[in-house]
Amino acid sequence: MSYRPSPISKDAIKGRKMIQLGKRDGDKCIVRFGLNDIDMNKTWRHISVYPPSEDIAALKEFDLENDGLNNIVKVDENDREYIVVKLRTNKTTCRQNNGEKMNIQELARDDCCVIVVRPESWKFEGASGVTLKAMLLIVFEDDLAEIEIN
């Protein structure tokens, strides 16, 4: 049995449906920060990524409609919008785009990827929000053969 992620939308996020960030044949997420050695022994870890603009738009629409929740979309020091994705190092499937398994620890800054996530609600010390838990991460290698140099 296979599952197909829902197209990203505020309703899919609200309905806690599995959604896809980035596209195999289109714009992909770019890793801002990969896994950190500081929390290496923790089961749940975090990465931050710059999603494509259309994914950011849907996430921001959800943020605007749910003003009482912490925002999913954050802004870095260069005014670039990013999100944080939660992953489980021993459960989140990580593959290269050719289908080969990849060690999630190898994920590095500026890697291009497609991520399938499931939104989940959280509450902690009076704050609440939605976290995006990664189910599948596909990393695309840059094909230097496609670059034409004069």
Q: What range defines the domain where residue 90 resides?
A: 10-146
What local confidence, expressed as pLDDT, does residue 116 receive?
Answer: 95
Answer yes or no: is 5 within a domain: no
What local confidence, expressed as pLDDT, does residue 144 receive?
Answer: 45
Q: Over the chain (150 residues), what is each successive 10-residue block's mean pLDDT?
A: 79 91 93 73 85 95 91 95 91 91 88 95 90 94 52
What local confidence, expressed as pLDDT, does residue 147 receive?
Answer: 45
Which of 101, 99, 137 is CA-nearest to residue 117? Answer: 137
Answer yes or no: is 22 within a domain: yes
| CA-based max dimension of the chain | 58
What local confidence, expressed as pLDDT, does residue 142 receive?
Answer: 61
Q: Which CATH number belongs to the domain containing residue 46 in this structure? A: 2.40.50.140
Answer yes or no: is 36 within a domain: yes
What local confidence, expressed as pLDDT, does residue 44 receive?
Answer: 81
Answer yes or no: is 1 within a domain: no
Answer yes or no: is 3 within a domain: no
The CA distances from residue 43 to 2, 46, 72, 127, 137, in Å, are 26, 10, 21, 22, 17
E strands in the chain: 19-21, 29-33, 44-50, 74-75, 81-88, 93-96, 112-124, 127-140
What local confidence, expressed as pLDDT, does residue 149 receive?
Answer: 47
Answer yes or no: is 44 within a domain: yes
Answer yes or no: is 136 within a domain: yes
Q: Structural domain tally of the chain?
A: 1
